[in-house]
């Protein structure tokens, strides 16, 4: 629509409340939906897209993608989205000035570096998390990478075997696709913090997402330089990101070599996330996906791979993302005493209803929804729920699960349950725990797993609600 003015995402984002007019973006169009909100069949729900794009929600709520909706939307069009201005260049002195514009449904725990998660109710809406709604955990500014000059270096320590791959070179390898859940080792940290303060971002239960990832198998690349399953001396594979801190040190981490070369390890150098090029926040143009392993090892903006005898010496490998006893704190910690977190333990969360919510009781029942997941490629075999602190337990129905078998079951499980509540109850606390295919389950209380970094925060999820009956 060349007759209409152009608006930047930044301009659009200023129109996120009814007082300032509510604008949304769909594809190349900018729309003023202020007067439409009252007529929206989904009611105020539409406000989660205010000042942002409606597209990710249309993936979740497929009902929108029809001619009638497009016709209505076009009548509300006020302009075009300016392509060139998608990157915010407000302040050149700010290393974060070139970070991408994020969707307004991503609620930041921190802005610079950007860390954000969506609401639990949105998260459990779909088995595949739309890219725009996928949690973001950046330690540094998002690097700007030109895909044409991009190079991935591969070095094998001690031996003169180095290779360099362009993006086109990588795409010539057979393309592999996996569906895998990615979770930050600090997911649900906010609950652990209630026991005693911890160092780290205040994550709710949504520092997790599930996506399909496509790219090159790491083992195929390693084979080219002669590193195979028979490797004896080299024990670790390092990944270095292209994001730099003020001392020009890049984000880096490593994984044990067996995971990298194993036929069933499924480590992928991904160039696609849910069928499109990996978005800037998630590692464009290449990010490592180490399924079943803590988010921290899934290095984004991958610049270099080093096969080594030793673990990565990076801060994030050695002095962070490790678990400790509740007796250890900053003043007495020896980081060398604990292994770095790799496979994550079993976890679950109730996504609906939310803590404090007033829930309508329908014919004596309440409806619940949530997710469960386990690391190391284990499958969720059961989710247990109780409304009376464990006197009676109910089994959730497992609604969405991948068909892959353990130890390659990388994706989460979405569950739901309809539980009876006694008519005299005005309030109830829901507890939830999952069991994985190794019959591992979650610890009951945070008190006993408290650790000063607030990682591996997987005690029973408890949600207290008010009943309307």
Hey, what are 338's tokens?
């604990």
25's enclosing H/E stretch is strand 23-26
Which residues belong to the active site?
A: 40, 64, 137, 184, 321
Q: Is 102 in the site for ligand MTE (CB under 6 A)?
A: no
Q: How many residues does the chain have?
A: 469
Hey, what are 314's tokens?
């990076």
Instruction: Tell me if residue 409 falls in helix, strand or coil.
Output: coil
Report, in Å, the least distance between residue 282 CB and ligand MTE: 4
Q: Based on CB atoms, which residue is closest to ligand MTE, 288 or 380?
A: 288
Cβ distance 76 to 32 under 8 Å? yes
Q: Which of 59, 106, 118, 136 binds ligand MTE (CB under 6 A)?
A: 136
Q: Based on CB atoms, which residue is closest to ligand MTE, 29 or 280?
A: 280
Please give the distance of CA 185 from its chain centroid, rounded to a whole number.
11
Q: Which positions from 138 to 167 touch ligand MTE by CB under 6 A, shown as an x/- string?
A: xxx---------------------------
How far the first Cα of the chain sits from its last, in Å, is 52
Q: Based on CB atoms, which residue is closest to Mo ion, 155 or 320?
A: 320
Q: Which of 215, 291, 295, 353 binds Mo ion (CB under 5 A)?
A: 295
Cβ distance 104 to 132 under 8 Å? no
Q: Which positions from 220 to 259 touch ligand MTE by CB under 6 A, shown as an x/- string?
A: ---------------------x-x-------x--------
Q: Which of 15, 137, 322, 461 binds Mo ion (CB under 5 A)?
A: 137
Closest C-alpha to 58, from 114, 113, 132: 132
Closest C-alpha to 52, from 87, 11, 112: 11
Question: What whole-number distance in Å separates Cα of residue 28 and Cα of residue 21?
Answer: 19
Contact partner at residue 298 from ligand MTE, Mo ion, none, CB < 5 to 8 Å by partner kind = ligand MTE
Q: Is 296 in the site for Mo ion (CB under 5 A)?
A: yes
Q: Render 9-34 in DSSP notation, one character per residue.
A: HHHHHT-BSGGG-BEEEETTEEEE-G
Q: Is 270 in the site for ligand MTE (CB under 6 A)?
A: no
Hey, what are 168's tokens?
């086109």
Q: Based on CB atoms, which residue is closest to ligand MTE, 385 or 455?
A: 455
Cβ distance 154 to 165 under 8 Å? yes
Q: Is 81 in the site for ligand MTE (CB under 6 A)?
A: no
Q: Which positions from 170 to 189 touch ligand MTE by CB under 6 A, shown as an x/- string?
A: ------------x-x-----
Q: Is 265 in the site for ligand MTE (CB under 6 A)?
A: no
Q: Is 22 in the site for Mo ion (CB under 5 A)?
A: no
Question: What whole-number distance in Å separates Cα of residue 208 and Cα of residue 201?
Answer: 14
Q: Is 135 in the site for ligand MTE (CB under 6 A)?
A: yes
Residue entry with tokens 């509740």? 326
Decide: residue 445, CB within 10 A, 0-12 exposed, 13-18 middle, 19+ buried. exposed
Q: Is 296 in the site for ligand MTE (CB under 6 A)?
A: yes
Please report, as ranges, the residues that interact with Mo ion according to CB under 5 A: 137, 184, 295-296
**Interacting residue ranges for ligand MTE, rule: CB under 6 A:** 134-140, 182, 184, 241, 243, 251, 281-282, 295-296, 298-301
């Amino acid at each position: 629509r060349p007759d209409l003015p152009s608006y930047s995402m930044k301009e659009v984002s200023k129109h996120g409340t009814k007082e300032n007019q509510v604008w949304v973006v769909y594809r190349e169009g900018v729309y003023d939906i202020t007067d439409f909100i009252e007529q929206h069949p989904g009611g105020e729900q539409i406000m989660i897209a205010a000042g942002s794009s409606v597209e990710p929600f249309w993936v979740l709520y497929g009902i929108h993608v029809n001619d009638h909706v497009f016709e209505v939307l076009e009548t509300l069009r006020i302009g075009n989205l300016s392509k060139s201005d998608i990157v915010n260049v407000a302040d050149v002195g700010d290393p974060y000035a070139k970070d991408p514009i994020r969707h307004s449904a991503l609620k930041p725990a921190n802005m610079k570096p950007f860390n954000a998660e969506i609401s639990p109710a949105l998260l459990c809406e779909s088995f595949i998390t739309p890219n725009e709604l996928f949690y973001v955990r950046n330690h540094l500014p998002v690097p700007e990478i030109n895909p044409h000059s991009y190079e991935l270096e591969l070095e094998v320590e001690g031996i003169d075997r180095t290779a360099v791959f362009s993006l086109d070179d990588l795409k010539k390898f057979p393309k592999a696709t996996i569906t895998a859940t990615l979770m930050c080792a600090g997911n649900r940290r906010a609950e652990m913090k209630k026991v005693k303060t911890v160092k780290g971002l205040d994550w709710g239960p949504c520092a997790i997402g599930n996506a399909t990832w496509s790219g090159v198998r790491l083992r195929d690349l390693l084979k080219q330089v002669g590193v195979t399953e028979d490797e004896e001396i080299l024990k670790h594979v390092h990944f270095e990101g292209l994001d730099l801190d003020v001392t020009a040190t890049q984000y880096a981490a490593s994984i044990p070599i067996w995971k990298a070369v194993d036929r069933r390890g499924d480590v992928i150098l991904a160039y696609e996330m849910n069928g499109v090029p990996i978005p800037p926040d998630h590692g464009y143009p290449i990010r490592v996906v180490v399924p079943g392993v803590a988010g921290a090892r899934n290095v984004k903006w991958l610049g270099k791979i080093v096969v080594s005898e030793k673990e990565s010496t990076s801060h994030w490998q050695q002095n962070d993302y490790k678990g400790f006893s509740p007796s250890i704190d900053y003043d007495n910690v020896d980081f060398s005493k604990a292994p770095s977190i790799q496979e994550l333990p079993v976890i679950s969360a109730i996504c609906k209803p939310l803590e404090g919510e007033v829930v309508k009781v329908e014919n004596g029942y309440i409806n619940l929804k949530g997710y469960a997941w386990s690391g190391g490629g284990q499958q969720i075999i059961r989710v247990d729920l109780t409304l009376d602190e464990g006197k009676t337990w109910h089994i959730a129905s497992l609604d969405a699960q991948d068909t892959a078998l353990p130890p390659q079951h990388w994706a989460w499980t979405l569950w739901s349950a309809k539980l009876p509540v006694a008519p005299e109850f005005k309030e109830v606390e829901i507890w939830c725990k999952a069991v994985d295919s190794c019959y591992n389950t979650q610890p009951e209380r945070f008190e006993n797993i408290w650790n000063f970094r607030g990682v591996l925060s997987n005690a029973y999820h408890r949600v207290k609600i008010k009943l309307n009956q």
